[in-house]
Amino acid sequence: MKRRNGSGSRRLLEVTEKFTRSQVRFLESLEATRLLTATETGRLRQSVEQAASQKRSSDVLDTAMQVTLKASAALRRGTLPASHGGRSDVEVLFEICRAIQRASGLPEFYTTLLERVKAAVPFENATLYVMDRKRRRLEPAAICGKPVELIGNVHFDLGTGFTSWVAKRRRPVLLRDLHGGRREDGSEVCCYLAAPILVQGHLAGLLSLCHSKARAFDEDDLRLVTLIGALAGGTLERIQAERQMRDLMLRDPATGLLSEHHFRERLADELERSRRYEQPFSLLALRIENWDALVSAGGAEWGEETLAEVGRLLGRWSRASDLIGRTGPVAFTAVLPFTTRAGAASAAARLYEILSSHRFPRRKKLEVTVGTAVCPVDGNDEAALVEAAERDRQGFASPSAAESPAVSQAAA
């Protein structure tokens, strides 16, 4: 136990240092877009570094709130010519900054950002993508309207479609008059805008907007969305680091996954977002069936090593946007945002193959069952979804390797 606590302390220190660096990058992005002067940036940066030198994560978080308030006050002093609804770009950016800083977590940050972008640059459909650093791919984090991809069946290094091509180039793109822009789903795209979200030259995400009216966006809109991306990038990294710090204190010590209590809190947030924005997600239930017999033969130490390995495998299987918790002694539950039934079935088959084919300590193999449920089709509250997933798990039939498709978790 002492070893795990020591490891946990080191991880918390590492995340605190990462959070501190993200605060500094946030300030530098404000200076780069000329929203703060070098003097203001230096003063705020000194406050962050002084808090970090205390080596207490609580001091860093307190200072983060002070930095946010001071940065917002500095933004009020900015002036640029009015260009959007009679408001200057700085006024628009200040409103967005103030709104996203109030976000209590990543889901609220994602949806708030899209809402504020729509108020500044009216669009019909938009998607906010976030970089999954484990997989080195862009993943959709929030969708307003319909998910739209110009060339969805073309593969690039960072994912599929034109969006990934824009992200790879790391340069914003404006296509004002697209011909033949009708999609397979019947929607029409005649104007398209995409702006990478960069933090110190590193890709953090991408904003993609589209409209059925030609020339709906112009160069001013492109410039504003690019500025919004620069502002949001630092904030995004800061919130991600803050969540990592908090999650480290809310993890199951045996597996490193979310504790049952924290997982249920996060599931409640996902249910609220699904109801509010009518966005689907899937819930996956997993159970180890032969655990008692294996532990009786292998002993408690074998059980601890195996649970830790299960946690690592689940972490590698998941996307950055997924939530995975240990919800029982040998039961695990995952939330897969923007995932339909077909995507959930594919993800479940892939997870089954990973766990059932893996050789655990002493060359033991686990027998697992997996079940899925989809919100809102199978229910729109926790009890109904869990019951549906458990019912599906109890009727689980092991798929053969030939029947296990590659995972595809994006919403259709």
Domain edges within the chain: 2-248, 260-403
Supply the pLDDT for residue 381. Answer: 93
* CATH value of 2-248 in 3.30.465.10, 3.30.450.40, 3.40.50.720, 3.40.50.300: 3.30.450.40
Distances (CA, A) of 68 to 43, 99, 196, 324: 13, 11, 23, 31
pTM: 0.54
Supply the pLDDT for residue 404. Answer: 39
C-alpha closest to that of 180 among 129, 218, 214, 145: 214
CB 236 within 8 A of CB 130: yes
- Please determine whether the domains at 2-248 and 260-403 fall in the same fold group of CATH: no
C-alpha closest to that of 284 among 330, 329, 243, 322: 322
Instruction: List the beta bridge partners of residue 341.
Output: none
Stated as kind and residue range, the H or E segment containing 126 is strand 125-132
Supply the pLDDT for residue 180. Answer: 61
Taking only the tens place, the pLDDT of each residue in 365-409 is: 999 999 999 999 999 999 999 999 999 998 776 554 334 333 333
Stated as kind and residue range, the H or E segment containing 235 is helix 219-248
Supply the pLDDT for residue 146. Answer: 84
CATH code reported for the domain at 260-403: 3.30.70.270
The ranges of the chain with pLDDT < 70 are 1-16, 18-19, 22, 29-36, 51-52, 54-90, 104, 152-154, 180-186, 247-248, 397-412
**Phi–psi pair at 375, nearest 5 degrees:** -95, 130
Q: How far apart are CA 333 and CA 320, in angstroms?
A: 15
Q: How far apart are CA 146 and CA 375, in angstroms?
A: 17
Supply the pLDDT for residue 61. Answer: 60
Supply the pLDDT for residue 241. Answer: 77
